[in-house]
Structure 1
Amino acid sequence: MFDKHLKITSLAIVLLCSIQFSWAQSNYFKWSAGIGGGINHTKTDVYKGGWDYTVYGTIDYHFTPFVTGGIEAQYGELKGGSIVTDPHNRQFVNKYSSVAISGKAMLGEFVDYEQSKTLNALKGLYAGIGIGVVNNNMTYIVRYKPSWAAFDPGYGPFPGKDKSLNLWVPLNLGINFFINDGYGYVRYAINVNAQSSFTFGEGLDGYNDPVTQFKNFDPDTYTVYSVGVKYFFGNVKAYRKSL
């Protein structure tokens, strides 16, 4: 009889430990913060865009491990054109900052990645969209053609503002590579992201060209290619699948 009770007790302990281990593996932190940086490229009213830098910070709330909503802030420099090679001798440098609220959904929310090594590796793949404001600050801009310009030397001023605010819509495509801590929780992530940012208005390059003189029909945009890190924190919540 004693041996029977001992076996039952031992089995109960093993089952309890298994349940606790599974439960821990299915919990996730509700919050994450991230930082990162990369290069950007502009497409505006000047003939050719330019490459420069962007740094960013994010804070996200995780509705599930794979569906998030949060805030993103950016700071950096945007540039384009060339006073020498641009057909109109135009060039700008914009020391910009921006903030947006955004949402993202990852592949892991929609697929059974537990049964596939490939899907498990790709479960952090995501797409997202946001809306916010970009603050434009021209630290350099050509308002008048130089005296040595091939056409219309001294022409100007090119219309536009040196400082402005524009509506900003970022579209994100990227992937998170999750890293567990010593307790089995997802605590860190390495993030690789491509973001296309559309602005509404003519502030990104500082030129507000009349369509009668320039082809000016597309919104000013810039694209950021970045790498960053995330840290997960806060209260934990249960999730239906193992993480």
Structure 2
Amino acid sequence: MTFSLLKTASLTVLFSFLVTFSFAQSNYFEWSWALGGGANFSKTDVVEGNWGYTTYGEINFHFTPFITGGIEAQYGMVQGGDIVTDPHNRQFVNKYTSATANLKLYLGEFVQYERKPVLDALKGLYAGVGIGVINNNITDIVRYKPSWATIDPGYGPFPGKDKSLNLLVPINLGFNYYINDGYGYVRYVINFNAQSNFTFGEGLDGYNDPSTKFKNYNPDTFNVYSIGVKYFFGGIRAYRKFF
């Protein structure tokens, strides 16, 4: 009987030891919202891209602390070309809005970062992809070459639409810097993000010229470099991770 009790106690202690080192448990908030902004740079059918601006707001549901799904809305200005320096004297300004659904995966989901300062500092690195729609609103565009153009002065109009909707696919790479509240929960984040936005259609720059006359083989894109703040709220969930 004594041997049996000792055996049972030993197995219980061993099991508890293994569980302690095989699992990490923490609590986290289910939801977060974020606001931010930054600069964007275009790459479209005009020869030269240019800098614009982007502002955004988003709301995310946290499946775990390091897997999120969310909705992002953007408003900004994308521009490109230059009526003087562009070979075809083209330029445009697009005051756009967009809405996308996004999924993001963080490094913290895949590494054991407890008691490892380097990994703990890097756990906020993430990559993500999404899909949505962009509403293009061309507010300034060259449809006719100026009379002083070197080649084909007065040529036009360049075909295209001033208002259009296009499919949008954003790809995100970024980093979250986490800040705890007074109770030890992660409540705030400073976010740094680089986003490549691929549009499918010819609305981003407002030009839809035939490829026989202009090179037009790649999707129109714009890259956004932003900084933002994030706030966690909602119900608290337990996160148990097996290593």
Equivalent positions of 1:211-226 (< 5 A) are: 211-226=211-226
Aligned match of 1:168: 168
Matched letter for residue 61 of structure 2: Y
CA distance in structure 2 between the aligned counterparts of 1:49 and 1:31, rounded to whole angstroms: 37
Q: Deviation of residue 110 (structure 1)? A: 0.4
1:4-41: CA deviation from partner (whole Å, max 9, x where unpaired): xxxxxxxxxxxxxxxxxxxxx81100000000000000
Q: Deviation of residue 115 (structure 1)? A: 3.4
Q: Deviation of residue 240 (structure 1)? A: 1.8
TM-score by length of 2: 0.88
CA distance in structure 2 between the aligned counterparts of 1:141 and 1:135, rounded to whole angstroms: 16
Aligned match of 1:195: 195
Equivalent positions of 1:94-243 (< 5 A) are: 94-240=94-240
1:183-204: CA deviation from partner (whole Å, max 9, x where unpaired): 0010000000000000000000
Q: Tell me, what secondary structure is at the counterpart of 1:212?
A: coil
Q: Deviation of residue 116 (structure 1)? A: 1.3
Aligned match of 2:18: none
CA distance in structure 2 between the aligned counterparts of 1:103 and 1:115, rounded to whole angstroms: 28
CA distance in structure 2 between the aligned counterparts of 1:223 and 1:239, rounded to whole angstroms: 34
| Pairs aligned (count) | 217
CA distance in structure 2 between the aligned counterparts of 1:129 and 1:215, rounded to whole angstroms: 28
Aligned match of 2:7: none
CA distance in structure 1 between the aligned counterparts of 2:224 and 2:117, rounded to whole angstroms: 30
CA distance in structure 2 between the aligned counterparts of 1:49 and 1:180, rounded to whole angstroms: 40
CA distance in structure 1 between the aligned counterparts of 2:67 and 2:43, rounded to whole angstroms: 31
Q: Show structure 1 runs of 4+ deviating over 4 A.
A: none
Q: Deviation of residue 65 (structure 1)? A: 0.3
Q: How large is the RMSD of aligned CA atoms in angstroms?
A: 0.8
Matched letter for residue 104 of structure 2: K
Aligned match of 1:68: 68
Structure 1, unpaired ranges of 5+: 1-24
1:178-233: CA deviation from partner (whole Å, max 9, x where unpaired): 10000001000000000000000000000001011011000000000000000000
Matched letter for residue 66 of structure 2: F
CA distance in structure 1 between the aligned counterparts of 2:225 and 2:131, rounded to whole angstroms: 19
CA distance in structure 2 between the aligned counterparts of 1:52 and 1:204, rounded to whole angstroms: 13
CA distance in structure 2 between the aligned counterparts of 1:76 and 1:211, rounded to whole angstroms: 28
TM-score by length of 1: 0.88
Structure 2, unpaired ranges of 5+: 1-24
